[in-house]
Amino acid sequence: MARRPMRPDDLKLTRGVSDPQISSDGERVAWTEMSFDLDKDSPVSKVMVAATDGSDEPRQFTNGPHDLSPRWSPDGGYLAYLSADDGPPALFLAPLGGGSATKVEVPGPVSWYEWSPDGEKIVLVVSVGLPDPTSKDPKVANAPRVMRGAFNRFDGRGWIDGRTHLFVYDVATRSVRKVTSGDYDHKQPSWSPDGKMIVYVTDRSRRRNDVFWSGEVWTIPAAGGRAQRLSGALGEPCAPRFSPDGRRVAVAAVPQIRQMAGRHHQLLVFDAQRGGEPVRVAPDLDRPVDAVIPFTWLSPSELLFGVIDRGSMIVARARIGRRSASYVVEGDTQVFGFSIFQDRGRRLLAFTAAWVDAPDEVYVRALDDTSVTPTRISRASDELLAVVALTATRRHRVKSRDGLEIEYFEMAPKRTSPGRRNGKTPLYLEIHGGPHGWNPLFLLFPYYQTLVAAGYTVILPNPRGSISYGEEFALAVNGDWGGEDYHDLMACVGDALRRGRVDERRLFVGGYSYGGYMSSFIVGQTDRFKAAIIGAPVTNLFSEYGSSDVGAWLAETVGGDPWRATALYQERSPITHARSVTTPVLLHVSDGDLRTPPSQSDEFYTALKLMGKTVEYVRYPGGSHQALGPFGAPPSQNEDRLWRILDFLGRHGGNRVRGAARSS
């Protein structure tokens, strides 16, 4: 059967994989696989297992519907995982020799865990002091909420209550012991090689309840006792880990907490006993370390870590004391997780990789031989790719008006695609979030692909402010939202027009988050676009500062707080220019978005509607700021969103798509 371009209803065939973990003997790999329960209209996840040599079909290890984060015990006796089937996330231990999984009883939800090196204990991050969700006392439900600081809610989590503490669980006795204390949060713990110490991140500053990005690296005896601070304040420190000989501790962090917006995460190495000034790994690498992916030590002097480079998310290795890094996994790909196995000279790397035309899968290959083609282990995308043919990207570069080079990606439909006029297609300018984000984002591939399938040429620019092009490039947007970044985007549109394959009379623009900000700002500056799709935007910088979960961070990148930069906030707020908008606008946002709250869309919609502009507005129940990804919202919502976008574009000069019509 011939494959066809992607449609919004193909979302139900989408699968995702994450967090690949190789077993202690190197023979198996476990991962989390995401899909949908269409009857319950919900994303679901389960743990899958397969042989690392690809010799068998992947098998389902857990039943779901919300199982994730598998971890093999070092002794090979258990596969642990988190499950949120019956409420908050809990840790389960599944014996590999047979038998039912056992729930680890702790006094709250579990957000992180790690096996001790000998497999006898587990350190867990547990939230304590939370309101009782099972209480039937109406006074509990109606109790007032007293804010403990400016950082009192977080997108995807909600109100911040209680504290996170470290607990150590003894597998043999099934006993649990609290290790940390105090009115602080403790995060991302890891064991020393001898199992005697635990390293973790905490913020003990007086501003810990007002900002979310500051933290320090501390150690504490696993048996309990006096904690020791290893580092000063760092920006967004992530996943500290002891070296294999226990002499060093590495952490991914921004080395400063002031004016840190847009600055690179770096790998910093501290003395495990004294702390002191850190040594930076690969100091000549002018690319951000991907702090979302935990790094790992290869030896007492070498590390393996993620890097974001020109839109790709790759894997690199570097030795302490050397100035550069070498790439282990590279090219047009995005790696969202990896793990290694090394024993008696055998070293394996398991990783997930994806691109906008290659849905994510789990791969395994020899770590040290980059010439070997990785073995695909999972089969998550088989069903989708049996039906759908996906469009690839092409890279282009153009000089902006001040001479700065800007890269953008192009996804062009086939020459036989519908809706061409005089051989030319409509153009859709898609702007990424951030501003310190980047294009393309694999998680948005259904969005890109359905637009291309409808006959649009999609361009994905990385204007100044985008990360993965050097720190100076990323910092260039700070204090200038809607300034030179606007001209960078227009330069990409101009370059696409000069190539002669797109119709200058059918230009469209869209974006989400910061991309929503730029889209709403653009339509107040120019009438060259036939329609705009504005997702989860910032439209009023003044109110965003006080209503967003990251308001304090906003001041760093916009160029100051509203009292010091009043004129800038006024001039660069899209709401200021609403009267100039003539472009038809479709707004969409999730009710539960705490990053760019629905009030931002409310303000823009109200202004445009009461001035008689052409505007439509859709709010999706629940959700968060992460709703646009395929597993960030109920599948019915994201399918509706895609159909609605195609319908709106078609009604305002774009290509008409059969089946796209939606009630407005």
pLDDT, mean of residues 122-126: 98
Q: How far apart are CA 426 and CA 390, in angstroms?
A: 19
Q: Can you give the pLDDT at residue 664?
A: 60
pLDDT in tens, 537-556: 999 999 999 999 988 888 98
Q: How far apart are CA 611 and CA 578, in angstroms?
A: 9
pLDDT band for 629, please (50, 70, 90 cuts): confident
Q: Can you give the pLDDT at residue 551?
A: 87
Tell me what the pLDDT averaged over the chain comes to.
95
Closest Cα partner for 300 from 326, 319, 280? 319
The pTM score is 0.95
Q: Can you give the pLDDT at residue 136?
A: 87
Q: Can you give the pLDDT at residue 267?
A: 97
Packing angle between helix 484-498 and helix 514-522, nearest 10 degrees? 80
pLDDT in tens, 175-226: 999 999 999 999 999 999 999 999 999 999 998 998 888 999 999 999 999 9
Asked if pLDDT for residue 635 goes beyond 80, the answer is yes
pLDDT, mean of residues 526-533: 98
E strand or H helix that includes residue 461: strand 457-462
pLDDT in tens, 65-89: 999 999 999 999 999 999 998 789 9
pLDDT band for 663, please (50, 70, 90 cuts): low
Q: Can you give the pLDDT at residue 132?
A: 82
* CB-CB contact of 431 with 489 (8 Å): yes
pLDDT band for 660, please (50, 70, 90 cuts): low
Asked if pLDDT for residue 370 goes beyond 90, the answer is no
pLDDT, mean of residues 421-449: 95
* CB-CB contact of 286 with 470 (8 Å): yes
Q: How far apart are CA 639 and CA 152, in angstroms?
A: 32
Q: Can you give the pLDDT at residue 662?
A: 66
Share of the chain above pLDDT 70, in %: 99
pLDDT in tens, 250-273: 999 999 888 888 999 999 999 999
Domains of the chain in start order, with CATH, are 394-651 (3.40.50.1820)
pLDDT in tens, 454-494: 999 999 999 999 999 999 999 999 999 999 999 999 999 99
Beta bridge partners of 197: 221
Query: How many C-beta atoms lie closer than 10 Å to residue 599's C-beta?
Result: 16
pLDDT, mean of residues 141-170: 91
Q: How far apart are CA 87 and CA 89, in angstroms?
A: 7
E strand or H helix that includes residue 216: strand 214-221
Tokens coding 440: 């393309």
Cα 385 to Cα 360, 450, 560: the distances in Å are 12, 14, 48
pLDDT in tens, 27-47: 999 999 999 999 999 999 999
Q: How far apart are CA 292 and CA 298, in angstroms?
A: 19
